Structure 1
Amino acid sequence: MPFLIDGHNLIGAMPDLHLADPDDEARLVERLQRLALRTGRRITVVFDRGAPGRARDRTSRGGVTVRFAPSGVTADALLIRILQAERNPRGLIVVSSDRRVQEAARRRGAQVWSSPAFVAYLRRALGTVESAAPGSEEKPEADAEGLEYWLRRFRARSAEN
């Protein structure tokens, strides 16, 4: 089953990622790519703050599609739109701790996982430092090429905001 993920909500549930970190989105996407490669599951992650200027509002790489909510639209609203447009919502696992998103997913018949439940799944699936205790300074090893790609994408987006 593919995952549809509320990106910033998930980052807030991860003990070693922080929303204030300028690279938080890229680091999350890099982990999701490793998960997609390991499990074969397709993953779509949605973030607030739309892609600026002429940048695309969606990009895909390594089994992960990243979508940015357009200006004036929240990630939660975009997630609900995606759910409403989904042809087979019963085939999705929606990852969010937001009640409104969870309710919309349940109404469409999708499975719902809270962000902490997904973090536990990610720890088991990757068997890496994501399982570190909160406050741990240890950082996971990243695929340098993949991480650099996402860092460039997110930095370009941030520079235009």
Structure 2
Amino acid sequence: MPVLIDGYNLLRSVEKVSDTETLTDTALCRLISNYLRYIGELGEIVFDGIGPREKGPFQNLPNLDVTFSGSQVEADEIIEIRIEANTAPKRLMVVSSDRRIVAAASKRKAVSVKVELFWAEMMATLARIPKKKKFAEPLEKRQGITEAETDYWLKVFGFKD
């Protein structure tokens, strides 16, 4: 079941209930990526705003696409568009406690999960993963990096304009 997540809704909720140190958006995305990879699902997390200038940590996360809404559009609007455009909404899990998002999911008969429940389930699942499986070799080690990544690193090291 693909997962669509209201990023800052989840992050703010976790900050309120979790006893962990301050969780960053990049750390949250890594946790979600590990969870999705373990359960064998794909997901997208949508954050409000343009995000950080350097988006490298958000790229190439296994099983997770990270989207920033930009300065003119709210994340809620993008999530609603994704829900509406989904061709199999009954198979879509929408993670948000925002009434507007919950209503959009309900209208399309998508599975709506409150952020607190998703967080608890995700953390419980991650705790059950055997240590050796948590740190599996990255896929890039065997397959190589993408052309976009190659271009990025060539620019970083001054080999390409």
In structure 2, C-alpha distance between the alignment counterparts of 1:61 and 1:120, rounded to whole Å: 21
Per the alignment, residue 45 of structure 1 pairs with: 45
Per the alignment, do residues 78 and 60 of structure 1 end up closer, same or farther by CA in structure 2, a change over 3 Å counting?
A: farther
Unmatched 5+ stretches in structure 2: 129-133, 139-161
The aligned counterpart of 1:6 is 6
Residue aligning to 1:31? 31
> Percent of pairs identical after alignment?
31
**Which is further off, 102-111 or 36-45?**
36-45
Quote the residue 2:103 is aligned against: 103
CA shift in 2, pair 1:38/1:99, >3 Å: same
* 1:13 positional shift: 1.8
Count of aligned residue pairs for this structure pair: 128
1:52 shift after superposition: 7.5
TM-score of the pair, normalised by structure 2: 0.69
- State the Cα RMSD in Å: 2.8
The structure-2 alpha-carbon separation of the partners of 1:17 and 1:7, relative to structure 1 and needing over 3 Å to count, comes to: farther
Decide whether the 8 Å contact of 1:4 with 1:43 is kept in 2.
Answer: yes
Runs of 4+ in 1 over 3 A off after TM superposition: none
Deviation at 1:59, TM superposition (A): 4.5
CA 1:98–1:92 in structure 2 vs 1: closer, same or farther (change >3 Å)?
A: same
Contact 1:37/1:63 (<8 A) preserved: yes
The answer to whether the 8 Å contact 2:92/2:110 transfers is yes
Hey, which of these two has a bigger chunk of helix by percent? 2
| Residue ranges of structure 1 left out of the alignment (5+ in a row) | 129-141, 147-161
Question: Any idea what the Cα deviations from partners look like across 1:75-116, whole Å, max 9, x if unmatched?
Answer: 111100111111111110000000000000110110000000
Q: Which has the bigger relative contact order, CA under 8 A and spacing at least 6?
A: 1
For residue 35 of structure 1, report the CA deviation from its aligned partner.
0.2
Equivalence for 1:152: none
Paired letter, 1:96: S
Give the conservation status (yes or no) of the 8 Å contact 1:13–1:119.
Answer: no
Partners of 1:36 and 1:64 within 8 A in 2: yes
Say if 2:30 and 2:61, in contact at 8 Å, map to a contact too.
no
Residue 120 of structure 1 and its aligned partner are, at CA, apart by 1.2
Q: Matched residues in 2 for 1:30 and 1:59: separation?
A: 10
